[in-house]
Amino acid sequence: MTSATTTQARDIGDGIHRIPVPVADLPVGDTQVYALESPRGVILVDVGWNDDNSWAALQAGLAAAGLSVTDVEGVVVTHFHPDHVGLTGRIREASGCWVGMHEADFGHLEVMVSDRDRRAEEAALLRLAGAPEAEVDAVFAFDGTPPGRPEVLPDRKLAADEIIPLAGRSLRTVFTPGHTAGHACFLIEDHGVLFSGDHVLATTTPHVGEFDFPLPKRDALGEYLESLRAVSGLPVRRTLPAHRQEIDDLGARAAALIAHHDRRLDDLYDSFGDEELTMWEATSRMTWYRPWDETPTHGKRMALSEGSAHVRQLIERGRVRRIPGTEPARFARIEAEVGV
């Protein structure tokens, strides 16, 4: 299946209606919303970005399936990012539906919905990572509401292996932390269909990492790799991600993503050489979509969170260590012992 097939709402078989909902200013393009018949209407998997264009696209897609927003019984969201959870407030207001998400993402979403000014905290964290002052100052240049964010919190916390009834079948919650702490996929076991959210995408490597410096408390990359191995063993014949095209072979794609991160870990380890690097310096030596000096400020912050996840995983593997007493914190590689 090619990406061209994702351009319009339609029935894609297995009792699933797919509705592409546009996402403004993000390279992922559309969020693929999936509608499934339920005992009292319809369940939606993810809902897209919170703006008027997205709202209109969701309503039009439901209408193409002979449905209305008022038919929505419930919404399950794979994770807290705004291109997945943004429209939940409008849908709940129109239908009175429940909205469910894994509880490990609730705290992150509470921060997103809050109007609290966090710029001073973000600037302090960037300094702990060794960011240049020009990058720190750029934090204060932004003065506005992040685009696409939701207006309300989910009202149902989903646990691993929780069952959501559908019409004549059910969805099982599959906990897959990594991309976020509470990312979840949803499995129709009777049909072997997995809604993979951002956990596994067909052509894109999902972002893994948190804005937590100098060293993240959570081993996000380790969790992600473990979750990829776990979904590889599921009895799945179709994998439907939240962005772009369907995945033909889940096991092969998961293996490719694991191999990709193993290569990145090796490259990052080699890039240390004999030097002690800040998190910012280590991240700048990694390979990104464009040269580091040409990467915009927001892109560098995203890269920094992913770079920190890779450094943390190298520490977990005993290949890198944190240098005591350094501020900003510095890290160095541990030379492998050579056997006699």
Question: Is it the case that residue 212 has pLDDT exceeding 50?
Answer: yes
CB 220 within 8 A of CB 334: no
Question: Is it the case that residue 279 has pLDDT exceeding 70?
Answer: yes
Task: Give the percent of the chain with pLDDT over 70.
Answer: 95
20 against 151, higher pLDDT: 20
pLDDT digits (tens, 9 = 90+) for 286-302: 999 889 999 988 899 99
Tell me the one-letter amino acid at 24: A
pLDDT digits (tens, 9 = 90+) for 246-267: 999 999 999 999 999 999 999 9
Neighbouring residues of 86: CB distance < 8 A, sequence distance ≥ 6 = 47, 48, 49, 50, 51, 54, 148, 149, 150
Question: Is it the case that residue 4 has pLDDT exceeding 60?
Answer: no
pLDDT digits (tens, 9 = 90+) for 27-45: 777 999 999 999 999 999 9
- State the pLDDT confidence band at 67, using cuts at 50, 70 and 90: very high
pLDDT of residue 3: 37
Question: Is it the case that residue 210 has pLDDT exceeding 80?
Answer: yes
- Mean of the per-residue pLDDT values for the chain? 92
pLDDT of residue 198: 97
Question: Is it the case that residue 2 has pLDDT exceeding 70?
Answer: no
Question: Is it the case that residue 1 has pLDDT exceeding 70?
Answer: no
DSSP for 80-136, please give it: S-HHHHTTHHHHHHHH--EEEEEGGGHHHHHHHHS----HHHHHHHHHHTT--HHHH
pLDDT of residue 337: 53
pLDDT digits (tens, 9 = 90+) for 96-117: 999 999 999 998 888 888 877 8
pTM: 0.92
144 against 87, higher pLDDT: 87
Question: Is it the case that residue 220 has pLDDT exceeding 60?
Answer: yes
pLDDT of residue 340: 38
Mean pLDDT computed over 113-136: 90
Mean pLDDT computed over 109-133: 89
Question: Is it the case that residue 245 has pLDDT exceeding 70?
Answer: yes
DSSP for 128-197, please give it: HTT--HHHHHHHTT--SPPTT--SS--SEEEPTT-EEE-SSSEEEEEE--SSSTT-EEEEETTTTEEEEE
